[in-house]
């Protein structure tokens, strides 16, 4: 079950965290993975680890906020493989702030990556998918895309937009062979989160406070998010489209 054998996939932001876990999981399931990231060092390292483990992968440098970069990556993918079966829009950035403390520049910066980035990459590949009447798009949103999170105004605004964008793609192109779903994780133990926790005077207390938001009392592992992406990428989820796929440890259970 959940085989991706002979599938061609691309994961943005695959140089660390959830993106790395998804790329490695897809490769283990048999997919060829285009590992993309703005950071050439971490992206290349992810591709190299996949290859060392016997998987098939290639690194391509990609800045999702740059339309020209997206178009060039799409050109290379189609030139080398002829198609893209699975697109995972994972790249994203975070921001802490309320309406009172968030600037217009903050919001624009978040929008450029988290929303326009998803749009740019999908736009670069949607034509080929429509021509083949086949395509699977998985967008990484957040629990902050289905409910408000305190002190995360700009972040939540962009993630709500990602969920809406996903639903529109799914509805517009469902009968043209394209599926689109949004994964909405709760807090996840990524390298970025661990680095931020280390900056607190009491990292364990900070972790416990963040983990307590989830009913399970812990954060998710990147591999747990990747497992959901594998399901959505596989043929077993053929009847699933336009969803917010929540993996949030019971965050919303009592709401």
Active site residues: 155
If phi over 0 gives left and psi between -120 and 50 gives alpha, with beta otherwise, what is residue 187? beta
C-alpha to C-alpha distance for 48 and 212, rounded to whole angstroms: 36
What length does the chain have? 255
Q: What are phi and psi of 11, to 5 degrees?
A: -125, 125
Tokens, residue 226? 């990747």
Exposure string for 209-231, b = 16+ CB within 10 A, e = fewer:
ebbebbeeebbbebebbbebbbb
* Cβ-proximal residues to 139 (8 Å cutoff; 6+ apart), any chain: 88, 89, 118, 162, 165, 166, 180, 181, 182, 183
Q: Look-up: residue for tokens 């998918």?
A: 129
Q: How far is CA 216 from the centre of its chain?
A: 23
The angle subtended at Cα 129 by Cα 111 and Cα 79, nearest 5°, is 95
Closest CA to 207 of 196, 215, 221: 196
């Amino acid at each position: 079950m959940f085989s991706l054998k002979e599938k061609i996939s691309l994961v943005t932001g695959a140089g660390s965290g959830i993106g790395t876990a998804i790329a490695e999981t897809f490769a283990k399931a048999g997919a060829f993975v285009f590992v993309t990231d703005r950071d050439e060092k971490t992206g290349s390292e992810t591709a190299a680890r996949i290859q060392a483990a016997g998987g098939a992968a290639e690194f391509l440098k990609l800045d999702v906020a740059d339309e020209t970069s997206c178009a060039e990556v799409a050109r290379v993918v189609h030139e080398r493989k002829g198609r893209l079966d699975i697109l995972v829009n994972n790249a994203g950035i975070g921001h802490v702030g309320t309406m009172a403390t968030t600037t217009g520049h903050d919001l624009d910066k978040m929008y450029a990556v988290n929303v326009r980035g998803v749009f740019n990459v999908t736009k670069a590949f949607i034509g080929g998918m429509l021509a083949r009447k086949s395509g699977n798009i998985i967008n990484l949103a957040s629990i902050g895309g289905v409910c408000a999170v305190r002190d995360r105004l700009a972040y939540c605004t962009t993630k709500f937009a990602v969920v809406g964008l996903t639903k529109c793609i799914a509805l517009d192109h469902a009968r043209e062979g394209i599926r689109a779903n949004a994964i909405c994780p709760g807090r996840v133990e990524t390298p970025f989160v661990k680095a931020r926790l280390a900056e607190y005077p009491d990292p364990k207390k900070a972790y416990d406070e963040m983990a307590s938001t989830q009913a399970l009392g812990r954060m998710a592992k990147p591999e747990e998010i990747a497992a959901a992406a594998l399901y959505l990428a596989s043929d077993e989820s053929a009847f699933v489209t336009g969803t917010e796929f929540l993996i949030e440890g019971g965050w919303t259970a009592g709401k």
